C-alpha cells in the first residue's frame, strides 16, 4: 500500500492506495503546532479506523503548501510506517512540463492535480481546485502547464462577509436550494453557491477563449460535488485528484509500477 498525504492550509487529506485503487480518504485539521509524535498517533488512529494496519504500507508521499509542517510530517510518517517518505518538491520527477515564469514556485498541490489530470483526461484541460483558495490551472493540448488563476476560496469569502459586515452572521458552508434568499443565511448560501458556480462557468468561457479551443474541465476539492451540479458547463468531478497525482508521482520516482 501507498499512503498519499495532501497538506493544505485548512486540512490534511490522507489517502490509502492498493495499486491504483483508492481504499480510503480521511481529513484532519492542519495544525502547525503539533509535534511529530502527535501526528503519528493521529495518522495511526485514522488508518486503523478504516480497517488497515500501518505495517501494510510500502511507501508514502507528501504534497504540502505549508512549508513549516513538511519536516514534522515526514518524521511522523517515517516513524509510523517505517518506510521511505517522498515529498513533492522542485527536484522531484513529475513528468510535468511547466511553462510559468518560475516553475520552482508552483504549489505542490497544483503540480499533483496537473499530473493526475494529464494522465486521466483529454487535453487541453482546465483544473479547478476548490480549496482554501479557488485555483484554475491550464494544461494545453501538448500537456504543457501554462499557468494559474487564483481567487479567494468559498470559506474565505464566507468569513470575509461575516467579519466585515455588521449584520451578516458567521455561517458554515452548506448547499443552497434557491437563488433568491428570503433571509440572511439563505441569501449568503445562495450567493456563495450559485455565485461560485457562475464564476466557474465564466472563467471556463474566458480560459477557453484564451487557449483557442474548448478544454476538458475537471473540478476537485472537498466541496466540488456541492458546486458542480449548479454549473452550466460540462464538467468532470474528481474530489481526490491531488491524491491520484501523488500516487502517479510516487510510482514515477520509485519505478515500482
Which active-site residues does the annotation give? 109
Residue 174 CA, chain-centre distance (Å), reads: 19
DSSP label at residue 55: G
Among residues 209, 210, 231, which one has the least CA distance to residue 218? 231
For 31, phi then psi, to 5°, come to -135, 105
State the sign of the Cα–Cα–Cα–Cα dihedral 85, 91, 96, 101: positive
- DSSP readout, 90-113? TTS----EE-SS-GGGS-HHHHHH
| Separation CA 223–CA 229 (nearest Å) | 11
Angle at 214 between CA 99 and CA 153, to 5 degrees: 65
User: Cα(8)–Cα(59) distance, rounded to whole angstroms?
Assistant: 21
Give residue for cell 501523488.
246
Amino acid at each position: 500500500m501507498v499512503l498519499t498525504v495532501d497538506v493544505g492550509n485548512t486540512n490534511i487529506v490522507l489517502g490509502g492506495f492498493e495499486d491504483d485503487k483508492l481504499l480510503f480518504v480521511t481529513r484532519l485539521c492542519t495544525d502547525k503546532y503539533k509535534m511529530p509524535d502527535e501526528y503519528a498517533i493521529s495518522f495511526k488512529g485514522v488508518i486503523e479506523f478504516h480497517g488497515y494496519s500501518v505495517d501494510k504500507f510500502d511507501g508514502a508521499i507528501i504534497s504540502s503548501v505549508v512549508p513549516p509542517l513538511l519536516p514534522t510530517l515526514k518524521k511522523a510518517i517515517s516513524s509510523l510506517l517505517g518506510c521511505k517518505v517522498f515529498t513533492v518538491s522542485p527536484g522531484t520527477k513529475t513528468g510535468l512540463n511547466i511553462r510559468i515564469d518560475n516553475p520552482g514556485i508552483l504549489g505542490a498541490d497544483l503540480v499533483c492535480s496537473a499530473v493526475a489530470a494529464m494522465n486521466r483526461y483529454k487535453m487541453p484541460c482546465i483544473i479547478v481546485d476548490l480549496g482554501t483558495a479557488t485555483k484554475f490551472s491550464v494544461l494545453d493540448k501538448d500537456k504543457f502547464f501554462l499557468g494559474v488563476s487564483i481567487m479567494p476560496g468559498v470559506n474565505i469569502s464566507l468569513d470575509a462577509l461575516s467579519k466585515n459586515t455588521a449584520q451578516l452572521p458567521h455561517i458554515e458552508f452548506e448547499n443552497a436550494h434557491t437563488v433568491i434568499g428570503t433571509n440572511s443565511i439563505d441569501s449568503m448560501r445562495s450567493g456563495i453557491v450559485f455565485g461560485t458556480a457562475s464564476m466557474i462557468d465564466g472563467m471556463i468561457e474566458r480560459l477557453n477563449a484564451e487557449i483557442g479551443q474548448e478544454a476538458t474541465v475537471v473540478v476537485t476539492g472537498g466541496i466540488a460535488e456541492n458546486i458542480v451540479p449548479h454549473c452550466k458547463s460540462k464538467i468532470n468531478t474528481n474530489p481526490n485528484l491531488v491524491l491520484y497525482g501523488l500516487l502517479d508521482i510516487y510510482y514515477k520516482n520509485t519505478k515500482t509500477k
